[in-house]
Amino acid sequence: MTIRPTFFSGPFLDRRAELRDDPAWLDAARADPATRYVISVGSRQLVSAGSSEVALLAHGDALVERAADTMLTLLGWFRGQRTLLVEYEPGELPPLPAATELGELRPLAALLPPDSASLLAYARALALWRARHHFCGVCGSRTGRVRAGHVMRCTQAECASEFFPRLDPAIIVLVSDPAGERALLGRQASWPPGRYSTIAGFVEPGESLEDAVVREVEEETGIQVSDVKYESSQPWPFPSSLMLGFHAIGRTTEIQLRDGELEDARWFTRADVEAGHPALPPAGSISARLIDGWLHAPRG
């Protein structure tokens, strides 16, 4: 089966996870003149001026030379080169290299090539996870990086609890009527005027993905669904979600906004969407992919 990657994903990085347990990983990276570095400052990353490409720095660049070992994480091999993440605090950042700038990934996404977007999504998720785990959740002591930056371990020897990167699973679903001619879309009040999207929500403890689809659609719109089928997934590092895309068939048609999540929800025909009404989510999002799949699905 051919896999068509969603935006922020794809086979662009060889993660080489086995090297995370190599005690010499950092020495090898520092000694390799081909090693490249991604710079992160909070939720922002270093990109080329104009924001059309990730800025990969090399040995000799001030941001690399001034970075302490404790600021480095092994990401893997990107475009055939060993690639590390360097995390700076805002107040300790040296001047940026010429023709570069710090940018937020969400507004940059439409400008970046797929491989740069995938790499920065990975880097952003790791940086934000680590920023929230400076202290042990068991005993309150400081944590430190182990396994090449992919585990935070409590520095209190009697505790030594380990914390791994976490993902928040969320379902997102295109609900169509039984004939496949109408799609159920909703909008949040904070979105641009006229924009509607597919129904989404977080998976709760003790709940399967399919159960979450059924529950979220009914909670937000009052519509009952069946025939829940998985379509694809998308990493969504804002800050740490994994969006799991589904199709489902509506068994009822009367919309009732129940939980206050949505400002409005409606059934839209194919003709509505093809005519540009409503405005749809950005092209790189899995919601746009789900809508496009429904819109161009074979009829009959």
pLDDT in tens, 73-89: 999 999 999 999 999 99
Mean pLDDT to the nearest integer, 279-299: 91
Mean pLDDT to the nearest integer, 109-126: 94
Boundaries of every domain in the chain: 13-131, 168-295
Inter-CA distances, 258 with 156, 207, 223, 264, Å: 47, 20, 10, 11
| pLDDT tens track for 15-52 | 999 999 999 999 999 999 999 999 999 999 999 998 78
What DSSP character marks residue 279? B
Distance CA(298)–CA(300), nearest Å, equals 7
- Looking at residue 1, its pLDDT comes to 42
**Would you say residue 207 has pLDDT above 80?**
yes
DSSP letters spanning 52-103:
-SB--B-TT-HHHHT--GGGEEEEEEETTEEEEEEEE-GGGPPPPPTTEEEE
CA atoms within 13 A on the CB side of 147: 12
- Looking at residue 110, its pLDDT comes to 84
What DSSP character marks residue 15? -
Mean pLDDT to the nearest integer, 97-121: 93
Query: Quick check: do 13-131 and 168-295 share a fold?
Result: yes
CATH assignment of 13-131? 3.90.79
- Looking at residue 259, its pLDDT comes to 85
Confidence label for 2 from pLDDT (cuts 50, 70 and 90): low
Superfamily name and number for 168-295: Nucleoside Triphosphate Pyrophosphohydrolase (3.90.79.10)
Q: Taking the CB of residue 94, how many other CB atoms lie within 10 A of it?
A: 12
